[in-house]
Amino acid sequence: MLQDPIGIPIPSCFSSSSSNEDQPTGVTKSGQTLFMSVYKTKIGGNSRYITITWFKHMLLHGLSVSVDGHDPNEADYTCKVELKPWCFWKKQGSKRFTTSDKANFDVFWDLKGAKFHGETEPSSEYYVAVVCDQEVVLLLGDLKKDAYRKTGCRPSLNDPVLVSRKEHVFGKKKFTTRLKFHEKGHFHELSIECKNRSDVAPEMEIRIDGHSMVHVKHLQWKFRGNECIHFKKVRIEVYWDVHDWLFSPGLRHALFIFKLSVPSSSSSPAISTASSPLSSLSSGSVDGFDPSGLHELCLFLYAWKVE
């Protein structure tokens, strides 16, 4: 059984069920898009997970910031920001919450000039900062100087690590998203296209930055599967389950899991679809990764097919 970086078990056969209990949280037939990123941070000598969720539907756009409880059985602490078009003042501000272990968290945001370019998550001209014990433990966006000036706090000595990302996207035949291999790296475009014509057997193609990485023919027989690929020295395990795209009526989703691993070294070509052992890789830093260690990131992509 596979596990994501924060310990959630992923069944080897992860098919969707018709039960409403298996519907991903927060997605409805109204077409809400949701991006959820989980960061591992170090606060007061302890590791804590901070979850940033961007959501958008017809009437509401916003984000929430959650910090896991000090006790594993404790509920997360959440700060929610709603960007309603008639509430411009909420596009900049701050909120505070206190956890059961008396840790004070302050969330600062400035989204006045944020550039969304039609997406749920902004791409530039914004910041979201999480502060604890006078340290900025997590900072997103490109207005970093403005964030430090507003918070009046110092950067954390420990950089946060993106460990998991969950997205819900809608489309007809093609589904795209942007992905950073590391917070200090640049965005890569990930696209999934399903070709399902009546005169040709259905096919599926997965591309990264326009390069074909996975091509599945006769998808009606291979609706579940996995493959190992390499892209720019990053090892990626790809898992897919598109059963409901092909055989279930109505609005249903396919699930794709991309498990990324960056080893301490790599000698593999920039792009490869052949598996190779991690020990065969040579030294080098990739997209801001620390070459002295191994970083893992899981992307869970729920692709909702709209007829």
Q: Can you tell me which residue has the tokens 């040709």?
A: 200
Cα separations (Å) of 210 from 107, 190, 227? 37, 8, 18
What is the per-residue pLDDT for 192?
96
Q: What is the pLDDT of residue 61?
A: 82
Q: Report pLDDT for 278.
A: 32
Q: What is the mean pLDDT of each run of 10 residues along the chain (307 residues)?
A: 42 37 42 84 88 84 84 71 63 86 90 85 93 95 95 92 90 88 79 84 94 95 95 91 88 92 48 36 41 73 88
pLDDT for 191 equals 95
Of 2, 100, 108, 83, which Cα lies nearest the Cα of 48?
100
Domain ranges of the chain: 29-159, 170-305
pTM of the model: 0.76
The pLDDT value recorded for residue 184 is 66
Euclidean distance between CA atoms 263 and 230, whole angstroms: 12
